[in-house]
Amino acid sequence: MSQQKTWSDRFESALNPAIAIFNASIGFDIELLEYDLTGSIAHAKMLGSTKIITDTEAQQLVSGLEQIRTEYRQGNFNPGVEAEDVHFAVEQRLIEIVGDVGKKLHTARSRNDQVGTDIRLYLRAEIRQIQQHLRRFQAALLSHSQNHVETLIPGYTHLQRAQPISLAHHLLAYFQMSQRDWERLNDVYQRTNISPLGCGALAGTTFPIDRQYTADLLGFDRVYENSLDGVSDRDFAIEFLCAASLIMVHLSRLSEEMILWASQEFSFITLKDTCATGSSIMPQKKNPDIPELVRGKTGRVFGHLQALLVIMKGLPLAYNKDLQEDKEGIFDGVKTVKACLEAMTILLEEGIEFKTTRLAEAVAEDFSNATDVADYLASKDVPFREAYNLVGKVVKTSLAAGKLLKDLTLDEWQQLHPAFESDIYEAIAPKQVVSARNSYGGTGFEQVHQAIARAKSIIDL
Ligand code: ARG
């Protein structure tokens, strides 16, 4: 174990041990290790190419850094709190490996532009991974949709039965939400993929560095234009947590529906044993723990977004140590979103089965075809508002008589309005009710087939 470092010779004594622990970020920023090495390798190469150090020195630095990567992957690099953070941990180990030349690595650089570089490299890689998770989630939604174009499910507003819809149409709504999530992440990626390396502590550097060189090596699209902004900007991380929060909103809404659907009251889906849990006391129970956990984990991602906004709001330019607090929320946000997307995907892929018989009963047992009666009259030139009021009355009398609309005799219909003819029965049958909503983006089967084709081409299946 190396000694707690004592900064420059300006300092005479080491940090108080409790303060050292309080100040350290190594406990969590070790997550950035590989990105820190990648960033440092690019920096070392740039120092060589600009002749700030010799080529031989640059090569020594690069091979020392690569050795740390190997050690880390083999589980042999485990810096403790005395290193303070991942950046110092790497520098100290590098000096142990390559000797005094290791002390040249930090020429023309500060931990401020270094940590900004690391977190961007980390986040852009994770954004791409989350996008892949989203694609798999979308594929699972699409596969159920393809099987259930003509499976009907009650559609709700205010959680009251409203109009029957295609089950595929319902699921494709989530497809669209996750498509926006995917696109939003592309957008965040653009503002994440900008290099702060070379901004130095805050003001740039006296050395003749080449910022474009490191940016190119690291695959950044461009460099920050202003060094103060470069080291203190965390907008991209806020944008990411915002995008992550919206993903969680969508997953949480789907979770809530699954929880409802699995209840005895709805009974629209069966939870399969591989994705459901039991109760420790009530042997009859099968619980939807997975969607409940997803719904529950949503709060922590919102919390990370809120925390980072609050961290940033009062910060004077440029770097302040408050920024060290950005990491845990970002890391946990990334992990939570990935885990939830994966769990929900598995749940869709193998954890649920739609109870089609029960669904067919559900759409036939209510008044959710009432709008269609009004539409029927309106299509026969009865003004819609008049038709609407009339059907309201029909629903009222039918309810009182314990009848559904389909149970009314033609005589009864015609007493209500002479425009009713025998085709009213066909017009209010659930399948017809759904298939007739053939407006663009509606639930009509033709529309749903087209929506599936569009969705398929989006995710390139
Ligand atoms: N561990 C620090 C962080 O995460 C690294 C940057 C430290 N810079 C400084 N000037 N103290 O933000």
Using most ligand atoms within 8 A of CB, pick from 32, 115, 122, 123 the residue to mutate for ligand 1: 115
Per-residue pLDDT for 16 more than 60? Answer: yes
Per-residue pLDDT for 197 more than 90? Answer: yes
For the range 312-318, what are the long-range contacts, defined as Cβ-Cβ under 8 Å and sequence gap of 24 or more? 312/234, 312/238, 315/232, 317/202, 317/228, 317/232, 318/112, 318/201, 318/202, 318/227, 318/228, 318/229, 318/231, 318/232
| CA–CA distance, 202 with 110 (Å, rounded to integer) | 8
Mean pLDDT of the chain: 96
Ligand 1 pocket residue status of 313, Cβ below 6 Å: no
Per-residue pLDDT for 10 more than 90? Answer: no
Ligand 1 atom at shortest distance from the alpha carbon of 29: 4
Which pLDDT score, from 0 to 100, does residue 326 have? 98
| CA–CA distance, 7 with 11 (Å, rounded to integer) | 6
pLDDT digits over 402-458, tens only? 999 999 999 999 999 999 999 999 999 999 999 999 999 999 999 999 999 999 999
Phi-psi region of 108 (alpha: psi -120 to 50; beta: other; left: phi over 0): left
Which pLDDT score, from 0 to 100, does residue 1 have? 41
pLDDT digits over 29-41, tens only? 999 999 999 999 9
Average pLDDT over residues 119-125: 98
Which pLDDT score, from 0 to 100, does residue 3 have? 53
Using most ligand atoms within 8 A of CB, pick from 21, 90, 112, 228 the residue to mutate for ligand 1: 112
115 CA to centre of ligand 1 in angstroms: 7
Q: Is 158 a catalytic residue?
A: yes
Which element (helix H / strand E) includes 270? Answer: strand 269-271
Ligand 1 atom at shortest distance from the alpha carbon of 86: 1
Using most ligand atoms within 8 A of CB, pick from 8, 232, 324, 327 the residue to mutate for ligand 1: 324
Average pLDDT over residues 385-393: 93
90 CA to centre of ligand 1 in angstroms: 14
- What is the Cα 88 distance to its own chain's centre? 32
Residue 191 CB neighbour total at 10 angstroms: 15
**Which residue ranges form the domains of the chain, and what is each CATH number?**
17-106 (1.10.275.10), 112-149+156-210+221-362 (1.20.200.10), 363-459 (1.10.40.30)
| Residue 284 banded pLDDT, cuts 50, 70, 90 | confident
Which pLDDT score, from 0 to 100, does residue 236 have? 98
Phi-psi region of 433 (alpha: psi -120 to 50; beta: other; left: phi over 0): alpha
Ligand 1 atom at shortest distance from the alpha carbon of 323: 12
Higher pLDDT, 400 or 172: 172
Using most ligand atoms within 8 A of CB, pick from 91, 317, 323 the residue to mutate for ligand 1: 323
| Residue 4 banded pLDDT, cuts 50, 70, 90 | low
342 CA to centre of ligand 1 in angstroms: 33
Ligand 1 atom at shortest distance from the alpha carbon of 319: 10
Ligand 1 pocket residue status of 144, Cβ below 6 Å: no
Per-residue pLDDT for 225 more than 70? Answer: yes
Ligand 1 atom at shortest distance from the alpha carbon of 84: 1
315 CA to centre of ligand 1 in angstroms: 15
Name residue, tokens 């300092």. Answer: 11
Least confident range from 53-57, 134-138, 410-414: namely: 410-414
Per-residue pLDDT for 113 more than 60? Answer: yes
Say which of 13, 158, 422, 439 is annotated catalytic: 158
Higher pLDDT, 438 or 9: 438
Residue nearest to atom 10 of ligand 1 (CA): 112
Query: Which two structure tokens, joined as six digits, stand for 352?
Result: 């649920």
Residue nearest to atom 7 of ligand 1 (CA): 111
Per-residue pLDDT for 2 more than 50? Answer: no
**Helix, strand, or coil (residue 307):** helix
Least confident range from 2-16, 134-148, 159-173, 227-241: namely: 2-16
Whole-model pTM: value is 0.95
Which element (helix H / strand E) includes 155? Answer: strand 152-157
Say which of 2, 263, 279, 379 is annotated catalytic: 279
Which pLDDT score, from 0 to 100, does residue 277 have? 85
Average pLDDT over residues 44-72: 98
415 CA to centre of ligand 1 in angstroms: 81
| Residue 147 banded pLDDT, cuts 50, 70, 90 | very high
| Residue 317 banded pLDDT, cuts 50, 70, 90 | very high
Which pLDDT score, from 0 to 100, does residue 5 have? 61
Which pLDDT score, from 0 to 100, does residue 6 have? 57
Per-residue pLDDT for 281 more than 90? Answer: no
Q: Is 417 a catalytic residue?
A: no
Query: Which two structure tokens, joined as six digits, stand for 69?
Result: 């990567």
